[in-house]
Amino acid sequence: MARRQLGGDPQWWRGAVIYQIYPRSFLDMNGDGIGDLPGIAARLDYVAALGVDAVWISPFFPSPMRDFGYDIADYRDVDPMFGTLEDFDLLLDAAHERGLRVMLDLVLSHTSDKHPWFQESRVDRANRRADWYVWADPRPDGTPPNNWLSLFGGPAWEWDSRRRQYYMHNFLASQPDLNFHNPEVQEAMLDVARFWLERGVDGFRLDTANMYFHDAALRDNPPLGPGRRVNGVPDSNPYGMQDPIYNINRPECLVFHERLRRLMDTYPGTATVGEIGAVTDMYATVAAYTEDSLRLNMAYSFDYLSELFSAGHIRAVCERMAAQPYSWPSWAFSNHDNTRVLTRWGLAAHAWQAAPLLVALLTSLRGSPCMYQGEELGLTEAIVPFERLQDPYGIRFWPEYRGRDGCRTPMPWSDSALHGGFSEAQPWLPIPLDHLDRAVNLQERDPHSPLNRVRRFLHWRRDHPVFRNGDIRFHDAPEPVVAFARIGDGGGRFCAFNLGPDPAALDAPAGLRPLSGHGFAGTLAGGRIRLEGFDAFFAEIG
């Protein structure tokens, strides 16, 4: 069944606001305590009303759910807990009717060990898919072939008694890595992308986009040395002590992305955003993966997903990225893998005021912002007790690292409905009581709620195209204020954000004409911009 993409501007992704939906936790329509595709379809009016341009849906493919969908057992179907292919088609059509583009989360670097490809590959060393995964003989003493580590703990190698070899896994042992050095594997992955493009999806978020290839010689990774860490890896994880130059980040990966880009270009108006993780030079890597129409349309880094938070850090990250050639970045302050931003940046006590400010800042930077479900409500990180944990990553490194469940708890739709209106059954993760106080139904009634302020700002942003594709020039400002101008064909806009709870002020450039309608209260008088705590100011430039 061939469908058409939404159409319109083929460059729609530049500056587009992408809203990430984690389907397990969005809305449950079949009463099993797990969100599903009909649940997403039922809330598309809510998503469209936010003023976003696209949705990124985390994996819903058949899976044993050892890593909650990021261990795929069938790339061309829908897991029954989420619905059916017909449900997906209905969701896609309903999104397009509302002007929303749909991007799927594709996990190409590895599969589940339950995938038929792996089940065949592990039978012996002579079957037709024997070389579809990364197999290696042990060292003479029986140990793994090299020192590579898994991000989820322990060696990146698992012994298989049938083949009497080790297989590689960058994540769980139940997530064997595909061998992209095999041309048949590359063709199979391109066919997967083609299958969903033919159904009419508008693009892909590519999980672990820099992890498709490994060093064919299986060389040991060198140590990073004191004071250096891999980007995005918690200190409690020894993975961060190696420089992962051989198990991931291989130059052959760039060549495959060129092939994928050529396929994408045959479906006008589609786009890719890549997750670039576990690197030591984030900026050069993102630039390489987004080089001048050759590979990914955009990629996001983990620099804003760390605990570092200051106006100076916001500026430094953005300027370092802007200095790279051919780079079009994508920014995220939160996602399904990281502690929610209000907690991570120490703003939980100020969530009601800080949440709309952070969304405004995120969506004003040069690049394509990714919002995570619940950011518009000011949700903070949930504390999930150990006995309720689901995440194998958190269970492995507890208690120094509590895993990813705290950012994956269900959306609170109603403060008075059973389980927050998420499900009629016990949810797969508990809903914190303080999240019920920020439920959608309560916030919709309050014009000053984070939800309504986010809606107001994102709709205002649509009337100022310079936020989509303009350049960015930072303006010197005292902490905790970050200030910059967006300059483009549609003129210029000056923006200032107070990231702290106390009033702040800064000198204004000449020729500013304050703008209204965005929902913030910053003022200009006597050549000074004055901001209340967690306030912003926007003006037209001279």
Q: Could you list the active site residues?
A: 207, 275
CA dihedral 538, 539, 540, 542 (to 10 degrees): -150
* Mode of pairing for the β-strands spanning 101-106 and 54-57: parallel
Q: Dig out the tokens for 129 from the structure.
A: 């898919």
Helical residues (DSSP H) of 250-340, grouped into ranges: 251-265, 282-289, 311-322
Q: CB within 8 A of 371, min separation 6: which ones? A: 17, 18, 19, 20, 52, 332, 334, 359, 362, 363
Beta strands in 355-397 (DSSP E): 368-372
Q: CB within 8 A of 483, min separation 6: which ones? A: 474, 475, 476, 477, 494, 495, 496, 497, 506, 529
CA separation for the pair 47, 26 (Å, rounded): 11
Q: Which of 450, 446, 494 is nearest to 470 (CA)?
A: 494
Buried/exposed 208-219: b ≥16 CB within 10 Å, e otherwise: bbbbbbbbeebe
Residue 470 in 3-state DSSP? coil
DSSP category for residue 402: -
Q: Under a CB-based contact definition with an 8 Å cutoff, are residues 455 and 50 in contact?
A: yes
Q: Which of 150, 109, 75 is nearest to 256 (CA)?
A: 109
Buried/exposed 291-328: b ≥16 CB within 10 Å, e otherwise: beeebbbbbbbbbbbbeebebeebbebbeebbebeebb
Residues in the chain: 542
Residue 22 in 3-state DSSP? coil
CA separation for the pair 372, 353 (Å, rounded): 18
DSSP category for residue 238: G
Give the count of beta carbons closer than 10 Å to the beta carbon of residue 412.
27
Q: Under a CB-based contact definition with an 8 Å cutoff, are residues 404 and 51 in contact?
A: no
Q: Which of 492, 521, 518, 517 is nearest to 504 (CA)?
A: 521
CA dihedral 89, 94, 98, 104 (to 10 degrees): -30
Q: Under a CB-based contact definition with an 8 Å cutoff, are residues 506 and 496 in contact?
A: yes
